[in-house]
Chain A
C-alpha cells in the first residue's frame, strides 16, 4: 500500500522567513504533485515533478524531487501572508494517468 507522509502538518511562520515542507512516499514513483487548497475551495495545481532531480520554481515556491530517497520538498522563500493555505503533495504510481494518493496536508499560516 502506498503511503505518503508530509511534515510538518501544521506550520505557523512569520512573513519574510524561509521554510520547507517535506513529502516522503513509500513506493517507487516518478510523478509527484504539489497542490494548494484554500479554505472551502478545491485544489490548485502548483507543480508536477516528473523525474529524479526535477526542480521547479514559481515565485516564492520551489519544489524538488529525489526519487531515490522517495522525497520531495516544497520550499518557501521570504514568505508572505498570501501564501497561507493548506499544501498537499500527492503521488501517482500508475503507468498512465492514475488516481493520486495524497499526503495529509500541511496547514500553513503566515503571520505579518
Chain B
C-alpha cells in the first residue's frame, strides 16, 4: 500500500513554456501533499505544502506565481511550472500524507529539463 505516482517521469521543454506535473496517491487519500525540488548533487528542498481544497503554502523564496499548485482532490495535486527557464531544470518530487499521520510517501520524481 501507500503508493504515490508522478507523471510524467521526465519532461523536456523549451524556455518560456509551461509544464504540468501530476502527483497522485493511488491507494489512500492524501489530505496533504508536498512538493520538493532537488538540484543535481544537492538535497531536497521543500517548495510548498498543498492541502486539498485550499491554497498552497509556499516556502520562503519560492515564487507562487511561477510554481502553481492545485490540490483539487484527495488523490491529486498538480505543480505547474510557468514560463520555465533553464534554471528551473531540476528533479521535482512530491510526497503525500494521509490525514493525521506522520508518514510521508514519496513519488518517483519528475526530471524537468528546460532548453
Contact = CB atoms under 8 A, between A and B. Distances in A.
Interface in B61-115: 93, 95, 97-98, 100-109, 111
Nearest to B102: A31
A42 B43 contact: no
Nearest to A107: B41
A42 B106 contact: yes
A41 B102 contact: no
B25 interface: no
A62 interface: no
Contacts of A31: 102
How many chain B residues sit at the interface, stated as a range, is 20 to 34
Nearest to A4: B43
A98 B50 CA distance: 10
How many chain A residues sit at the interface, stated as a range, is 20 to 34
Given A42-B109, A88-B43, A97-B32, A48 B49 contact: no
Interface string A71-98: 0000000000000000010101000111
B109 A104 contact: no
Given A43-B106, A50-B102, A99 B49 contact: yes
